């Protein structure tokens, strides 16, 4: 379809908190390519690799199409009746706190609103929490402590108007790519300085003027030191402090106690004193400073304190709410902030209300309910503990995969399997969590959904449907409302559309508000269906129809005194462990999202990071005997998992990093959640995913293999496997680890159907096996196995899946295991947006392309979202090194 001529549906990307606009031909078929929405103020037409390839993920593969009970299809009425009856009977017998919802930043605000209203407004329990707890609840708690309400003061334009941008605990280049590209473009114009604070040397460091490779968990010491030094050097803003803040002396006293000297703090942070001094000096001398923070700050036992330490520095200097300055929480999920607006976190009510008597009364009047929850519910980790010990007997999970993503994930799986009644509403069928649920309810997916989301800068944008729902899938708000109706709350849940819910949500934000809460979108309370359909993106608060980009430049904090609060915070020393000498960190990769239930459908996105890799510093790897590309077992107090080792100087000594994306659906349990400890921030309850004590052990496999097949096979039962989609089929990387892991052959991996021809080559001496199965002359599957040698490149074999029949030469090549020589089209995908592989980039470098721009001209790589540019630079550097050797 011609994107320039077909009428376009404008919607919003479902991945990260940047919230880019996406344009799709209206009425598009599934798997139709998408484009960036040129009119959306966030991205102005650009998309990152994940957004660009959304079209590859809208097919029906792995979709949940019908309500299912224990694997059998049932009707909607039966399914909804069962949920309502089970929840009602458990509430009647054990009280409202015996049930819970666990929801998701993937839900639209309207879905979230209805779920929260049912649990906190009519069931009468606070037990609804969200996977945003794992992502930014520490930032929420810090905002409330400092500002009185969960409010991000600035906007994305501040990244473009700043002279210094500090990125703390954020691999922005990969996790918020379009915002990062906006920053780099602005830097071209105004020479913005960029500082990255991160124990790892990430892709974001590639463009940094200064990288502080800080010791894990030392951020609080660092920002306390900055706070003290700013106060000492006269960088404070006395007028702002006097007019708009309180608590400075107590905060400064606490910070000074923790900062005896620059040298001592530098040592505590693992930094050299000159680097620390430069950081402080640049902050002190630059008026326009943005400090953006993300999971590296939030996912810590001191997450809230760390965020408040950052905010303290901005309050001290009065650099808040003005162009180019302020603390800025980068949210991970597309609608993490929308969930916060409607009370998706267990410790807050809808419309930014807390659990005070007056707030509960307000909600009781607005919802006309006498069952409002009067106290906070259980936060995510505590909630699943309550499922495990039987306090919670019925759990409804919506649009998330906690069996993979929560810490101590094996215990979560067990808790669900033991729970009396588990419902999962989701658009995906085959998740680790679905395997533990009694009842599956099919929800609409991106492209079928209709509602709103709010991004990191308080910008509400529309997600619009451009396809019909798959199978019997229904909107989440409809599913929840139908259950509510069957539980006896029909009048309060008589919604006919997402627009109905949005109007009520907007009305509630202004109800008895009178300026007491900043979250107020009551200007949209009477929005018509047509205007809701056409709604352009807007930043709240929206009291008089227009959006608000920045807040707090002139005070007006929603605290009782109207002043922002400095927070007294002190670092808490952590004990070292002899059994677990490493600190395990986890995070996202450039081309994947969450547990890969969507991005995993794209062969292109799967080609960059092909297996679950654990990063380890080269000196640590040498000490432990781990080789680059070998296997490594990571062990924590909670579990063990095997990864492909990536040995790199980018990893700080004593630290390990694993990606969060793999699950037991696509690997032998190489999930970060299985390893993560249960420690969490005492205020926010956010798990400290960045700091699990761990150890690393080399693994010597008995054999290694890969298996290429046109059709998916049952999960291989070996000590190590990793599955990914490739063009035309699936690729499984396999390794035998324990005595039970006998080597496979093609037939036992995937029994044949039809007149299959086998070709095979065994080399007993070398311990090699190469087998292929052909059907009608076409390659169906092949296995390449070795006990000691190297495995050949995969791409030439993947290319054979596209051939209608194999030539004699192809057969000989396949069995010889030589593979094809490097050609321009081979190797992993480096630039997912333009589909450019490493081979093409090597060829461009060899033919004289000397920098990223030249390679872009030759190949197109790096010319769209730019997330791959650091990797292209690495390839150029590697090429030069190889030439010099």
> Cβ of residue 875: shortest distance to ligand SF4, in angstroms?
23
> Cβ of residue 167: shortest distance to ligand SF4, in angstroms?
15
> Cβ of residue 36: shortest distance to ligand SF4, in angstroms?
7
> Cβ of residue 672: shortest distance to ligand SF4, in angstroms?
20
Nearer Cβ to ligand SF4 (44/485): 44
> Cβ of residue 160: shortest distance to ligand SF4, in angstroms?
16
CB-CB neighbours of 180 under 10 Å: 28
Count of H helices and E strands in the chain?
Answer: 31, 34
And the tokens for 347?
């410790």
CA gap 665, 715 in Å, rounded: 7
Nearer Cβ to ligand SF4 (116/463): 463
> Cβ of residue 331: shortest distance to ligand SF4, in angstroms?
11
Nearer Cβ to ligand SF4 (47/831): 47
And the tokens for 244?
């708009």
> Cβ of residue 229: shortest distance to ligand SF4, in angstroms?
35
> Cβ of residue 566: shortest distance to ligand SF4, in angstroms?
33
Nearer Cβ to ligand SF4 (20/310): 20
Nearer Cβ to ligand SF4 (332/856): 332
> Cβ of residue 49: shortest distance to ligand SF4, in angstroms?
7
Q: Which of 224, 314, 238 is nearest to 269 (CA)?
A: 224
Q: Is 846 exposed, middle or buried (0-12, 13-18, 19+ CB in 10 A)?
A: exposed
Nearer Cβ to ligand SF4 (43/104): 43
Nearer Cβ to ligand SF4 (14/817): 14
Terminal-residue alpha carbon distance, the chain: 50
And the tokens for 574?
């952590």
CA gap 406, 612 in Å, rounded: 18
Nearer Cβ to ligand SF4 (67/587): 587
> Cβ of residue 48: shortest distance to ligand SF4, in angstroms?
3
Nearer Cβ to ligand SF4 (499/829): 829
The length of the chain in residues reads 885
> Cβ of residue 47: shortest distance to ligand SF4, in angstroms?
4
Tell me if 21 sits within 8 A of 537, measured CB to CB: yes
Nearer Cβ to ligand SF4 (161/591): 591
CA gap 136, 174 in Å, rounded: 18
Closest-by-Cβ residue to ligand SF4 is 51
- Judged by DSSP in three states, 170 sits in coil
Q: Which of 9, 25, 19, 74 is nearest to 46 (CA)?
A: 19
**Beta-carbon-side half-sphere exposure of residue 142 (alpha carbons within 13 Å):** 28
And the tokens for 576?
């070292």
Tell me if 211 sits within 8 A of 224, measured CB to CB: no
Nearer Cβ to ligand SF4 (48/568): 48
Q: Is 807 exposed, middle or buried (0-12, 13-18, 19+ CB in 10 A)?
A: exposed
Q: Widest CA span of the chain, in angstroms?
A: 85
> Cβ of residue 42: shortest distance to ligand SF4, in angstroms?
7
Q: Which of 200, 209, 166 is nearest to 310 (CA)?
A: 166
And the tokens for 625?
């005997």
| Cα separation values, 483 from 108, 232, 396, 436, 795, Å | 18, 60, 11, 21, 49
Nearer Cβ to ligand SF4 (599/709): 599
Q: Which of 162, 273, 180 is nearest to 870 (CA)?
A: 180
Nearer Cβ to ligand SF4 (17/671): 17
- Judged by DSSP in three states, 806 sits in coil
Cis peptide before 541 (omega within 30 of 0): yes
Contacts of 750 (CB under 8 A, 6+ apart): 707, 709, 711, 713, 773, 781
Tell me the Ramachandran region of residue 815: left when phi exceeds 0, alpha when psi lies from -120 to 50, beta otherwise: alpha
> Cβ of residue 175: shortest distance to ligand SF4, in angstroms?
8
> Cβ of residue 179: shortest distance to ligand SF4, in angstroms?
7
In the block, which residue shows the tokens 């010597």? 700
CA gap 632, 565 in Å, rounded: 47
CA gap 744, 65 in Å, rounded: 34
Nearer Cβ to ligand SF4 (44/574): 44
In the block, which residue shows the tokens 């450039």? 590
Which parts of this chain interact with ligand SF4 (CB under 6 A)? Answer: 13, 15-16, 18-20, 43, 47-48, 50-51, 176-178
> Cβ of residue 178: shortest distance to ligand SF4, in angstroms?
4
Nearer Cβ to ligand SF4 (160/438): 160
């Amino acid at each position: 379809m011609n994107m320039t001529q077909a009428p376009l549906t404008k919607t919003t990307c479902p991945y990260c908190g940047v919230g880019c606009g996406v344009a799709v031909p209206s009425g598009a078929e599934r798997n139709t390519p998408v484009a960036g929405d040129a009119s959306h103020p966030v991205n102005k037409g650009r998309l990152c690799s994940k957004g660009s390839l959304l079209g590859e993920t809208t097919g029906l593969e792995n979709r949940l199409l019908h309500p299912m009970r224990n694997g059998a299809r049932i009707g909607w009425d039966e399914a909804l009746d069962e949920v309502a009856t089970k929840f009602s009977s458990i509430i009647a017998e054990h009280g409202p706190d015996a049930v819970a919802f666990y929801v998701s930043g993937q839900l639209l605000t309207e879905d979230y609103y209805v779920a929260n209203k049912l649990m906190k407004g009519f069931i009468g329990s606070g037990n609804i929490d969200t996977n945003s707890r794992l992502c930014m609840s520490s930032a929420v708690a810090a905002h409330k402590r400092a500002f009185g309400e969960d409010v991000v003061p600035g906007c994305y334009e501040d990244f473009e108007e700043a002279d210094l941008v500090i990125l703390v605990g954020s691999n922005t280049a990969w996790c918020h790519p379009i915002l990062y590209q906006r920053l780099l473009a602005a830097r071209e114009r105004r020479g913005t300085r960029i500082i990255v604070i991160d124990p790892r040397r990430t892709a974001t460091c590639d463009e940094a003027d200064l990288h502080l490779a800080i010791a894990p968990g030392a951020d609080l010491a660092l920002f306390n030191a900055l706070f003290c030094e700013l106060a000492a050097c006269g960088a404070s803003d006395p007028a702002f402090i006097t007019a708009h803040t309180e608590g400075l002396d107590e905060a400064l006293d606490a910070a000074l106690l923790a900062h005896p000297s620059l040298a001592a703090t530098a040592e505590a942070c693992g930094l050299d004193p000159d680097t620390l001094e430069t950081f402080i000096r640049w902050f002190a001398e630059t008026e326009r400073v943005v400090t953006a923070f993300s999971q590296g700050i939030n996912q810590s036992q001191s997450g809230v304190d760390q965020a408040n330490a950052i905010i303290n520095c901005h309050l001290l200097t009065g650099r808040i709410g003005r162009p180019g300055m302020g603390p800025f929480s980068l949210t991970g999920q597309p609608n993490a902030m929308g969930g916060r607006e409607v009370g998706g976190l267990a410790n807050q009510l809808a419309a930014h209300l807390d659990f005070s008597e007056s707030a509960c009364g307000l909600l009781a009047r607005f919802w006309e309910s006498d069952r409002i929850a009067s106290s906070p519910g259980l936060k995510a980790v505590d909630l699943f503990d309550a499922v495990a010990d039987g306090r919670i007997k019925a759990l409804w999970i919506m649009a998330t995969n906690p069996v993979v993503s929560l810490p101590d994930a094996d215990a979560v799986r067990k808790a669900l399997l033991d729970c009396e009644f588990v419902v999962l509403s989701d658009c995906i069928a085959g998740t680790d969590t679905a395997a533990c649920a009694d009842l599956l309810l099919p929800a609409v997916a991106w492209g079928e959904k209709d509602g709103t989301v709010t991004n990191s800068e308080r910008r509400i944008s529309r997600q619009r449907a451009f396809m019909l729902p798959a199978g019997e899938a229904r909107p989440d708000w409809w599913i929840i409302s139908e259950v509510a109706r069957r539980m006896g709350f029909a009048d309060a849940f008589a919604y006919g559309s997402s627009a109905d819910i949005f109007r009520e949500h907007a009305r509630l934000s202004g109800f008895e508000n009178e300026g007491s809460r900043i979250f107020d979108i009551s200007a949209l309370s009477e929005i018509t269906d047509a205007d809701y359909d056409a709604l352009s993106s807007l930043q709240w608060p929206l009291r008089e129809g227009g959006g608000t980009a920045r807040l707090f430049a002139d005070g007006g904090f929603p605290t009782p005194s109207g002043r922002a609060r400095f927070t007294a915070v002190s670092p808490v020393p952590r004990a070292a462990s002899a059994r677990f000498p490493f600190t395990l960190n986890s995070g996202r990769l450039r081309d994947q999202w969450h547990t890969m239930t969507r991005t995993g459908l794209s062969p292109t996105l799967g080609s960059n990071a092909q297996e679950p890799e654990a990063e380890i510093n080269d000196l640590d790897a040498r000490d432990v005997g781990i080789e680059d590309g070998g296997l490594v077992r990571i062990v924590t107090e909670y579990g063990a998992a095997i990864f492909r080792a990536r040995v790199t100087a980018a990893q700080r000594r004593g630290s390990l990093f694993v990606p969060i994306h793999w699950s037991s659906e696509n690997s032998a349990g190489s999930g970060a959640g299985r390893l993560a400890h249960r420690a969490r921030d005492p205020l926010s309850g956010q798990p400290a995913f960045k700091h699990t004590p761990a150890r690393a052990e080399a693994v010597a496999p008995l054999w290694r293999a890969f298996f290429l097949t046109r059709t998916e096979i049952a999960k291989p039962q070996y000590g190590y496997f990793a599955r990914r989609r490739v063009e035309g089929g699936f690729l499984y990387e396999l390794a035998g680890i324990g005595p039970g892991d006998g080597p496979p052959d093609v037939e036992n991996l995937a029994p044949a159907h039809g007149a299959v021809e086998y070709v095979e080559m065994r080399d007993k001496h070398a311990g090699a096996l190469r087998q292929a199965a052909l059907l009608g002359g076409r390659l169906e599957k092949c296995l390449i196995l070795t006990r000691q040698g190297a495995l050949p490149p995969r791409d030439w074999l993947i290319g054979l899946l596209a051939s209608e029949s194999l030539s004699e030469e192809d057969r000989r090549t396949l069995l010889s295991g030589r593979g094809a020589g490097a050609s321009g089209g081979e190797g992993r995908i480096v630039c997912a947006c333009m589909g450019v592989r490493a081979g093409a980039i090597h060829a461009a470098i060899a033919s004289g392309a000397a920098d990223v721009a030249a390679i872009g001209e030759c190949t197109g790589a790096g010319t769209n979202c730019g997330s791959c540019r650091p990797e292209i630079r690495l390839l150029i550097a590697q090429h030069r090194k190889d030439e010099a050797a």
